[in-house]
Chains A and B, each alone.
Chain A
Amino acid sequence: MTEPRQIDFRQWHRLFQQVPDRLVEEIRYYRHLPQAEWSQYLFPPSTHVVYGNRLLRKLKFDNSQAALRLWGFVMSEGERIYRARQAGMKVIAVMGDLGAVTPLVYSFPNIVAFYPDCLWWTPFLMESRELFDEAGQLGLGEDCCFVRASLGAFSRKAYFPKPDLCVGTVGATCDDMATVMSEAEQLGVDIHYFELPHRHDGDTDKTALSGYLENQYQELCRRLEQATGETFSPDRFRETVQKVNRMRSLIAEIKDLSGAPAASPMGAVEMMNMEFAALSYYGDLDECLAVLTEFRDLMKFRANSGQGYQNQDLRLVWVTPPADPLLMNYIEELGGRVVGSEYLIHQTTPIIDTKKDPFEALAEAHLKATLMGSSAYRVNLVIEQVERTHADGVIISGVFGSSHCPYETAPIISALRQKGIPVLSFDVVAPGKRRLQSQIFNRMEAFSESLKARKKRRAG
């Protein structure tokens, strides 16, 4: 195996010559469909640049085949959803819950789910404000979170096929996506609303809340039955949930491995892509499992053999996923490594109980959701990550104008400072705002310098 390092897209282009053709042909999605060339996805990043993802020219990628496979799998998701539609599969758009309801969706046969919410990073990847501008035309301007890009995508009708059903979670979750839903309705999109009640952390009657969510899941199940023409099968559900649980375990294991003591075994962007697989499995649950298994094996090998990137010694926890992945590369260049994260997707972490009634089990897992409860709950999730990973510092990449960042940021910072953990907080800036971007880079530099000085002082 080659020495782990981060390389750019040109270097990957050259390195890709060494990948055997046989492997390129073997690695494909939708394996239940007859083998076709279109289902292959192991390509160098330069291929995805050709499709408009210009930011890839600036990013650094891990030089392993496992990471390349993950990148290929992530970047082919949009195309895959169209292929699913062509192959007669039902396409379900899921919004606002970030990974909680997809186990139920995937327990129906011949179905695929995707999150329009995740298009929030498309303007960054494409270095284009097109989707933001489109959303702006429809009333969602810069005072709305980057998820407004998904409204632009609904309007442009060119980023995903028209869904057979849209499931929108509203209530105790972010309001920005609720606004996108409302505007999407105006564009003629029919939405099945899933009500997520507030969780009182501490004194909630969890039984009543869980019971309420069970009913919501049952109702959703009926809508899925209507949309697919299939009857819900508890056996099929268990089979799906077993796979989902395997994926969640894999993700937890990989997250643990990323904190390996010797050196950083993987890049932060790859880790984020890996973690976000738990949302909709990038449109192919079985293949996603295979991708993550290979990724885990590589991480295990690197962690056990002490291999990793050189000169990345500052252990950091990243809070709130950055829509602009370049920021992660930047902190890595400054000597940082991301060993823990709180990406608002805690609802995708619990192992779902397969022995319980399906709806009860889903409701129980959903109760762990990040945004459903108080800010204190999220503060605790961050503290837990910091303590578990022995982090040197925390980076919070907020989203300007979102419904939760303005409220959570202060308590998170305050709790971390009380524990003596240095923290850097900034808002990610939209593509094209170079001066603002440079300010963030300056602050990151200062933060990493101060962390290094602190480490030196502590080491005597």
Chain B
Amino acid sequence: MDVITGFDRLEKHYLASESRPKVGYLCLRVSPEYIEACGADALRIAPRPGYDLSAFTPIRPDGCSFCRSVPAILETDVYRNLNAIIAGTCCDQMRRLMDTLNDLLDIPVILFGAPRTWNADPDYFRGEMIDAFGKIEEITGNAATETELLERIRVHNNLKNSVNHLRRQEKLPTALLQRISCSILPPEEILSFLSNSRDLPAIPAEIRLLLAGSIPGVWELDVIESNGSRVVADATCLGDRVFHRLTSEKGDPVQQLYQTYVEDNLCPHRRPVTSTIDYLKNLMDERQIDGVVYRSVKYCHPWGLLAERMKKELEAPLLIVDDDLTSPAVENFRTRVGAFTEMLKMKLRRRA
């Protein structure tokens, strides 16, 4: 049994047995620690196998294709029986998606304001975050105590450390990384799974790629890695970026969570966007990247409209592809990635 199948089984088993309230969250501005401290399981909303590509959505076809898919994604088994959905305001489309979900669903849809700029007045935005989680506390009937928050921060930091360590050693495949980032499994369970899987050999990679861009769908990674290349760095919304920032275990835990998830959030919707670009550059240096697959979902403004700038800034071979999560062009994607990988291979051979 491969590691991915093992992980999926574990998650399925947990889902079948779980009894705590389940809170879905969108994007990286929400702290799963806080949700867990409120006595709920935190479940990242992300594309899952089997969502209905042709499901009705009230969002027009020129809306972000991830946002358009979310109503259908929420129909998949994993997201059944959610007790609430929470998100921070990130890009404009995500903010408006919450409006759409509010109209469509019968569960509380909770949105909190989060700053677009850096070092914005923390008092206001922290208040927004606290108010939003206050609503989660009301739903679960469980107030997040300081002790519980600190405990959840500690456990999540352990998970982040472990993930980062394995990623640097190239013993954690990106497919598993993406599974972990949207898993409902508590970090303790994931840590235990990872420690039992430590005997995994380092993954050989002829071509070392950085995958950057919007939230991945369910098939892109397989297609990219089926060409003799490996995604050794993943800067998508489900990749290394989820784990890179540890939360300080000192001081007020709410403030520290605010700092990690709201203030230090590295998404290209932030202005100026230079910190995000710097993060990508560092990741490329650290993982010795040969090329970048820059994949944005159709009509994703933060990633999609930044593609040309990234091409200039990252100064590496870069393939720009866009992908519609509601109408995937798999073969087109395969051809383009295949050609890109071939080009990189030839380049490496010439150098050798």
Q: Chain A: residues with CB nearer than 8 A to chain B? A: 138-140, 143-144, 168, 170-176, 178-179, 181-183, 185-186, 191, 193, 195, 197-198, 200, 205, 208-209, 211-212, 215, 374-376, 398, 400-411, 427
Residue in A closest to B132 when the chains form the complex, CB atoms = A200
Q: Is the CB of A143 within 8 A of B298?
A: yes
The 9 closest A-B pairs by CB, nearest first: A139-B308, A406-B63, A407-B96, A406-B60, A403-B92, A175-B92, A410-B58, A212-B124, A197-B113
Residue in B closest to A185 when the chains form the complex, CB atoms = B272
Q: How far is the CA of A408 from the CA of B96 in the complex (A)?
A: 8
CB of A236 to closest CB in B, whole Å: 27
Q: Is the CB of A170 within 8 A of B271?
A: yes
**Contacts A173-B92, A175-B93, A407-B99: A182 and B124 contacting too (C-beta < 8 A)?**
no
Partner of A197, one of B91, B100, B115, B301: B115
Chain B 4-31, CB within 8 Å of chain A: the 1/0 string?
Answer: 0000000000000000000000000000
The reply on B95 being an interface residue by CB < 8 A is yes
B304: chain A residues at CB < 8 Å are 143
Q: Chain B: residues with CB nearer than 8 A to chain A? A: 58-63, 67, 89, 91-93, 95-97, 99-100, 103, 111, 113, 115-117, 120-121, 124-125, 127-128, 131, 269, 271-273, 298-299, 301-302, 304-309, 312
Q: Is the CB of B89 within 8 A of A171?
A: yes
Q: Is the CB of B89 within 8 A of A172?
A: yes
B271: chain A residues at CB < 8 Å are 168, 170, 178, 181-182, 191, 193
Q: Is the CB of A144 within 8 A of B301?
A: yes
**Contacts A171-B89, A406-B60, A410-B58: A195 and B305 contacting too (C-beta < 8 A)?**
no
Residue in A closest to B272 when the chains form the complex, CB atoms = A185
A405: chain B residues at CB < 8 Å are 60, 62
B99: chain A residues at CB < 8 Å are 374-376, 407, 411
Q: Is the CB of B309 within 8 A of A197?
A: no
Q: How far is the CA of A211 from the CA of B273 in the complex (A)?
A: 26
Q: Is the CB of A400 within 8 A of B62?
A: yes
Residue in A closest to B96 when the chains form the complex, CB atoms = A407
Q: Is the CB of A139 within 8 A of B59?
A: no
Q: Is the CB of A198 within 8 A of B100?
A: no
Q: Is the CB of A375 within 8 A of B96?
A: yes
B307: chain A residues at CB < 8 Å are 139
CB of A416 to closest CB in B, whole Å: 14
Partner of A175, one of B59, B272, B301, B312: B301
Partner of B117, one of A179, A186, A195: A195
Q: Is the CB of B128 within 8 A of A197?
A: yes
Residue in A closest to B131 when the chains form the complex, CB atoms = A205
10 interchain pairs (CB within 8 A)? A139-B307, A143-B305, A175-B91, A182-B271, A193-B272, A198-B89, A200-B111, A215-B121, A406-B60, A410-B59
Residue in A closest to B91 when the chains form the complex, CB atoms = A175
Q: Is the CB of A183 within 8 A of B60?
A: no
Q: How far is the CA of A123 from the CA of B338 in the complex (A)?
A: 39
Partner of B309, one of A139, A171, A209: A139
B120: chain A residues at CB < 8 Å are 195
Q: How far is the CA of A375 from the CA of B120 in the complex (A)?
A: 25
Q: How far is the CA of A374 from the CA of B113 in the complex (A)?
A: 12
B63: chain A residues at CB < 8 Å are 406-407
CB of A184 to closest CB in B, whole Å: 11
B67: chain A residues at CB < 8 Å are 407
Partner of B60, one of A191, A211, A375, A409: A409
Q: How far is the CA of A138 from the CA of B99 in the complex (A)?
A: 32
Q: Is the CB of B95 within 8 A of A172?
A: yes
Q: How far is the CA of A427 from the CA of B63 in the complex (A)?
A: 13
CB of A401 to closest CB in B, whole Å: 5
Q: How far is the CA of A178 from the CA of B301 in the complex (A)?
A: 9
CB of B120 to closest CB in A, whole Å: 5
Partner of B92, one of A140, A174, A209: A174
Q: How far is the CA of A188 from the CA of B301 in the complex (A)?
A: 21
Q: How far is the CA of A174 from the CA of B116 in the complex (A)?
A: 12
Q: Is the CB of B97 within 8 A of A407?
A: yes
Q: How far is the CA of A405 from the CA of B96 in the complex (A)?
A: 10
A193: chain B residues at CB < 8 Å are 116-117, 271-272
CB of A395 to closest CB in B, whole Å: 17
